[in-house]
Amino acid sequence: MKNILVGQSGGPTAVINASLYGVIRAGMERQEQIGHIYGMVHGIEGFLQGRCMDLGKELSKEELELLKITPAAYLGSCRYMLPEDLSAPIYPTIFERLKALEIGCLFYIGGNDSMDTVSKLSRYGKSIGSEIRFIGIPKTVDNDLVETDHTPGYGSAAKYVAGTVREIVLDASVYHKESVTIVELMGRHAGWLTAASVLARKQEGDDPVLIYLPEAAFDMETFASDLKRALAKRSCVVVCVSEGIHDASGRFICEYGDQAQVDGFGHKMLTGCGKVLEHFVRERLGVKVRSVELNVSQRCSGMLMSATDLAEAEMAGRKGVAAALEGETGVMIAFRRAERGPYGTDYVTVDVDQICNREKVFPTEWIGGQGNDIGQGFIDYVQPLIAGEVVRPMADGVPVYLYRER
């Protein structure tokens, strides 16, 4: 199949490099079929600017093993959409570059938008009769890709959320005083990550007692009464919310603060919904309140990497190479969960056109309470995804990661 090319795109995750590792390792194991293993630096955008590296040559064996457990995106990433119009001049440019490097297959590791890139390139390729194959490897902490049981990156992010919220609950409960702690979690449209905070509970009815996802309309008055009810039962209440919660009209809660908040230069302050709710609670309930935004650590921390997630991410990369060698193109590797018996994953290929530009939201049947809780169905779904610990190399007291020379 000549040489292969692999790129990473979209936001970082704890295990996106494990998928890259899977592609590289599988490529190396098929030396009779695969020549060079090139990496795009900064995705398709960097590739267009000529940034490329020879992964098979430039990484030592030790570096390759370190790559596997290094979070973020080793090759660098981009957020770059190819034009809808396949007659745009950028397409022949890309294919000339691919031809110059004698590329037989391009692997693109990413989410929705990255699958759109795979779709366009494979459709253009077919239109000109090119034999180059294009394979998508799924990746997103948001877990919002359709046609797959879950996505690599989600398990580790969910585990980080569960473990960190458990610690925040411990922290929030040390004082005797009535208090509310609001934890804002990632998820603009889909509540998958926020839902994982349910795993922080040591038992049912425990903190976080209230969990709100974007999939259920959020109402400030209902929130106030939910809180009052919770505070009547316990003095310390922990609430988890998705950044993207919105009211029934579709207006984001984080926008509630916008009009009033301007910075020292008269510009609108962009504040998260956690801060907006914090101020609301202080005003309405008069209790001690704090908001915590977990921020980028949710997606880039390797501290609570899931061994299951790590293994599946690598396997997604390996299965991508296998699919390409079998002649597939325009497909993404997807996960199918064993329907009965112990947890297990089958790897299949799905037409990328079915995946790109679609979003898998959190199933409403898994939202419990009055839109403020998460049901057992989700717990059963997510539990295996966060299972297993990864031992990380440490030096001088800090985790050792692989860095690309810049």
Q: Pairing between strand 288-293 and 179-185?
A: parallel
- Catalytic residue, chosen from 142, 226, 309, 373, is 142
Is residue 212 at the binding interface for a copy of itself, with CB under 8 A as the rule? no
Q: Can 142 be counted among the known catalytic residues?
A: yes
Which one of 50, 129, 250, 266 is in contact with a copy of itself (CB under 8 A)? 266
Radius of gyration of the chain (CA): 23
Which one of 130, 173, 222, 354 is in contact with a copy of itself (CB under 8 A)? 173
According to the 3-state scheme, what is the secondary structure of 176-225? Answer: CCCEEEEEEECCCCCCHHHHHHHHHCCCCCCCCCEEECCCCCCCHHHHHH
In terms of Cα–Cα distance, which of 66, 69, 67 is closest to 310? 69
Other residues' Cβ atoms within 10 Å of the Cβ of residue 59? 21
Is residue 129 at the binding interface for a copy of itself, with CB under 8 A as the rule? no
Q: Of the listed pieces 19-27, 30-38, 310-318, 395-403, which binds a copy of itself according to CB under 8 A?
A: 395-403
Which one of 363, 369, 375, 399 is in contact with a copy of itself (CB under 8 A)? 399
Which one of 105, 180, 304, 374 is in contact with a copy of itself (CB under 8 A)? 304
For the bound state, the minimum distance from the C-beta of residue 283 to a copy of itself, rounded and expressed in Å, comes to: 5
E-strand ranges in 111-190 read 133-138, 179-185
Beta carbon nearer to a copy of itself, 79 or 99: 79
Beta carbon nearer to a copy of itself, 65 or 102: 65
Is residue 153 at the binding interface for a copy of itself, with CB under 8 A as the rule? no
Write out the two tokens for 169. Answer: 């609950």
Residue 251 DSSP class: -
Write out the two tokens for 247. Answer: 């009211």
Which one of 97, 126, 275, 288 is in contact with a copy of itself (CB under 8 A)? 275
Q: Which of residues 217-236 bind a copy of itself (CB under 8 A)?
A: 234
Q: Which of residues 5-24 bind a copy of itself (CB under 8 A)?
A: 8, 11-12
For residue 355, give every residue at least 6 positions away whose Cβ sits within 8 Å of its Cβ, in sequence order, or none.
112, 115, 136, 145, 146, 147, 148, 332, 334
Is residue 406 at the binding interface for a copy of itself, with CB under 8 A as the rule? yes
For residue 392, give every residue at least 6 positions away whose Cβ sits within 8 Å of its Cβ, in sequence order, or none.
69, 302, 305, 399, 400
Which one of 62, 99, 127, 175 is in contact with a copy of itself (CB under 8 A)? 175
Beta carbon nearer to a copy of itself, 87 or 202: 202
Is residue 86 at the binding interface for a copy of itself, with CB under 8 A as the rule? no
For the bound state, the minimum distance from the C-beta of residue 49 to a copy of itself, rounded and expressed in Å, comes to: 8
Is residue 100 at the binding interface for a copy of itself, with CB under 8 A as the rule? no
Is residue 154 at the binding interface for a copy of itself, with CB under 8 A as the rule? no
Is residue 109 at the binding interface for a copy of itself, with CB under 8 A as the rule? no
According to the 3-state scheme, what is the secondary structure of 296-330? Answer: CHHHHCCCCCEHHHHHHHHHHHHHHHHHHHCCCCC
Which one of 50, 205, 259, 286 is in contact with a copy of itself (CB under 8 A)? 259
Q: Which of residues 44-83 bind a copy of itself (CB under 8 A)?
A: 45-46, 70-73, 76-79
Q: Count the residues in the chain.
A: 406
For the bound state, the minimum distance from the C-beta of residue 259 to a copy of itself, rounded and expressed in Å, comes to: 7
Which one of 63, 171, 178, 247 is in contact with a copy of itself (CB under 8 A)? 171
Q: Which residues pair with 5 in a beta bridge?
A: 38, 106
Write out the two tokens for 110. Answer: 């990413």
Contact 359, 190 (CB under 8 A): yes
What is the sign, positive or negative, of the torsion defined by CA atoms of 279, 230, 219, 186?
positive
Is residue 163 at the binding interface for a copy of itself, with CB under 8 A as the rule? yes
Is residue 239 at the binding interface for a copy of itself, with CB under 8 A as the rule? no
- Residues serving a catalytic function are 142
